[in-house]
Structure 1
Amino acid sequence: MKPFHTPGLRIGLISYRSNPHCGGQGVYIRHLSQALSDLGHRVEVIAGPPDPLVNPRVKLTMLDTLDLYNPQNLFRTPRIEELKDPVNLIEWLDISAMGYPEPMTFGMRVKRYMAGRTKRYDIIHDNQSLSYGILSLARDLPVTATIHHPMTVDRRLAVKATKSYYKKLKALRWYSFIGMQKRVARKIPSIITVSDSSKTDIAREFKIPESRFKTVPIGIDLDNFFPLDHVKKQPGRLIVTNSADTPLKGLYHLLHAVKGIIDEHRDVSLTIIGTPKKNGGIENLVKKLDLGRHIDFTGRIDHHRFVREYAKAQIAVVPSMYEGFGLPVGEAMACRVPVICTTGGALPEVAGDAAKLVPPGNAKALEKAIIELLDDEQQREELACRGYERVKTKFTWEKCAMGTAQVYQEVIRDYHGL
């Protein structure tokens, strides 16, 4: 692609759910919108709850939703007045039938909001809602979308992880929105994705030619992730930034690896950033393996403590079964912490030669890699330094914004037949 030099695009950035504190998509919206604004573009983020906490220079439009996934009031019963809105009623009925309608219904809300407003924008950029409502906007102005990774992988792993026939059906019902996303994605002329691995996998899973994709790696927030050289490392301390019970994140396998290391009479501890689901699989596995005194769940923490937790760790572990990009790898590297990660999805692209790689879903391989790295101070230092340099040169939000703006230029030119 030719360099993009024209500032001042009017960009509508659509995001149906973008928690700025966790999850790659929330981080993506927050930092991409700021970096695009820094390049001189006018960005409006049109979002559903929670508040993505965008930069003050970025216009934020929050659309009213039922917000049924708010952890403070999960799956609340809507008021009768709320259900008089047809979109709210569709969402409530679908959720009541164990579906996940939010991408679809948020697209409906965006379409309603955009009525009479399309001339305000040069381009609309959808962040993986891939809904019919977003697609309908393509009749009036250029539209592109980012797909971080194919949700078919999440669905496959969720179904495989349970032996219960009922839970398998429940998982399939939950991921029923994927059919819509496939149909919409096939009609979007140019799609942004965050890694070559994701491009290959999405093209295969969604049956879209690879030529329709543009790979634009995302950035690492170097203002919030950095080394603290004055903080002393704690021997045997591991850190993982994922407390999720979802099989995709692979924490189950890391817990088994830690158990194996302890059984070999090694002194090791694991700091897990976040809080496990109450009575969920992770919490129950910690009890079953008798790991309570070796595990520290931090709960939600601010960036200052986050960086200190990294600084105290000898090794960061990313045990994911699959990642479309792999922010935890980049964030650990930015803190100059040596990384062990799996080869799931795009993780090797992010890690390069600056991490120790193991197969996904293999607790024994994780156990062996952790022991080897704990016993080799020189290798830890080499990986930490290589990772730090790799992040600073390859994964910045400025580069991500510049690459994204180049895609916008091509989409706008093609739309207008220039």
Structure 2
Amino acid sequence: MHIGFDAKRFFHNRTGLGNYARSTILGLAEYFPGHSYTLFTPRATGEFCTLPTQRGLIVQEACPLGGMFAALWRSLGIPRAARRHNLDIYHGLSHELPLTSFGPGTRTVVTMHDLLFLTHPHLYPWIDRQLYASKYRQSCRRADMVVAISQKTADDVHEIFGIPRDRIRVVYQSCSPAFSDLRDVDDAARLRQKYRLPERYALFVGALIARKGAQTLIAALAELPAADRPDLVIVGTGPLQAALRDQARALGLVDRVHFAGRVDDADLPGLYRQASVFAYPSVGEGFGIPILEALGSRVPVITSTGSCFSEPGGDAALYTAPGDVPELARALSRVLGDEALRRDMIEKGVRHAHNFHSSRTSAALMEVYAELCGTAEQEHP
């Protein structure tokens, strides 16, 4: 098969959607090298621009018009370029498909990550909700198959957009194997010096926005007895950073809450592995990839009830109600003070994380492509 992708975020996004694009495409290239893969992007630039050539992938810049028309690259540029490549499958990796047709020989797939703008509308501006709803609903209706990255997202796509369940497939995402590959021994001293890490810390990784719950975590930390309280390392940036600093100062934790900002990709697994606990008290996600990163890194995880969190967390995580500060404080105290519980959570986490190995997620996605093309995929890893 010849499979094409909307790869803009592969090249130009360092976080969630970009990580999904890279792990998806590179996983397919590794475990199913017998197929052809073409990456469509308006510009093949940035820190990830050498990855495709290292894996033998085709890169096609698809920006037929410049200036004020450059934003039309997806709707006009991709279908035009795709017709020259005779694609069997075109996969929009982040909620969108071009408005114009690919022709009868190309089947279309769109990945839906979440519908949080509809399930949690108070977290999004009105205009964003209208734009997202229109684009995402239209893409789901036009796609031959919708891939949802969690069962929660699949349920939302069916119930809110009315897409039949027989046109939805749940295909989980994987994270970088660096988070579970312990053969690469961490340079603990270097990381502690580079990021000024404390000896004992809880870890938070995510955008500093209200939905992610860092403010709940800081408040829970303040409720712990001083003698039992770990420091908190926050990895990520966002509009709430100043408010979170003010919160830590007001609670007398200014010296205990450390803002690491953006962390180099190569260093992040080491920050997970040195943490005493990973806390992810988010209100809602499409999947929650940091949970999987932490489990693979052999770190106990505390996350939220509801949303999709039981899917990446499984039976390995502890769950607390989002926004419930006392409950989160009690969970932190349990994990930090009970070594037998910690060992059990770590062992369960390693087993659960294996279910999301790239070989498995790539095989599941290839089955979707093969189903659409009416072929039986025999090249399972």
Report the TM-score when normalising by structure 1: 0.76
Contact 1:323–1:346 (Cα < 8 Å) also in 2: yes
Residue 34 (structure 1) aligns with = 26
- Relative to 1, partners in 2 of residues 1:17 and 1:265: Cα closer, same or farther, differing over 3 Å? same
Equivalent residue for 2:209, pick from 246, 263, 271? 246
Residue 141 (structure 1) aligns with = 106
Contact 1:236–1:267 (Cα < 8 Å) also in 2: no
Pairwise CA distance, 1:308: 2.2
Equivalent residue for 2:129, pick from 169, 175, 191? 175
For 1:411, give the aligned amino acid: L
Q: How far does the alpha carbon of each residue in 1:168-212 deviate from its partner, in whole angstroms, 9 at most, with x for none?
A: xxx111333221211221232311112212211222222222221
Q: Secondary structure at the match of 1:186?
A: helix
Residue 304 (structure 2) aligns with = 342
Q: How far does the alpha carbon of each residue in 1:3-52 deviate from its partner, in whole angstroms, 9 at most, with x for none?
A: xxxxxx21101134346774332112112212211212211121356744
Residue 235 (structure 2) aligns with = 273
Q: How far does the alpha carbon of each residue in 1:113-158 deviate from its partner, in whole angstroms, 9 at most, with x for none?
A: 5264252x1110111242443x632655211111111243476141
Residue 91 (structure 2) aligns with = 125
Contact 1:10–1:42 (Cα < 8 Å) also in 2: yes
What CA distance in whole angstroms lies between the structure 1 residues aligned with 2:322 and 2:77? 38
What CA distance in whole angstroms lies between the structure 2 residues aligned with 1:214 and 1:146? 10
Correspondence list, 1:24-63, <5 A: 24-38=16-30, 39-40=32-33, 41-48=35-42, 51=46, 52-53=48-49, 54-55=51-52, 56-57=54-55, 58-63=57-62
What CA distance in whole angstroms lies between the structure 1 residues aligned with 2:60 and 2:107? 20
Q: Sequence identity of aligned pairs in percent?
A: 22
Q: Secondary structure at the match of 1:136?
A: coil
Contact 1:193–1:213 (Cα < 8 Å) also in 2: yes
Cα root mean square deviation, aligned:
3.0
What CA distance in whole angstroms lies between the structure 1 residues aligned with 2:246 and 2:276? 26
Contact 1:18–1:48 (Cα < 8 Å) also in 2: no
Report the TM-score when normalising by structure 2: 0.83
Q: Secondary structure at the match of 2:178?
A: coil
Pairwise CA distance, 1:256: 1.7
For 1:248, give the aligned amino acid: R
What CA distance in whole angstroms lies between the structure 1 residues aligned with 2:285 and 2:82? 36
Correspondence list, 1:391-402, <5 A: 391-392=353-354, 394-402=355-363
Residues paired across the two proteins, number: 358
Contact 1:157–1:247 (Cα < 8 Å) also in 2: no
What CA distance in whole angstroms lies between the structure 2 residues aligned with 1:230 and 1:118? 45
What CA distance in whole angstroms lies between the structure 2 residues aligned with 1:386 and 1:229? 22
- Relative to 1, partners in 2 of residues 1:373 and 1:407: Cα closer, same or farther, differing over 3 Å? same
What CA distance in whole angstroms lies between the structure 1 residues aligned with 2:187 and 2:98? 52
Contact 1:276–1:282 (Cα < 8 Å) also in 2: no
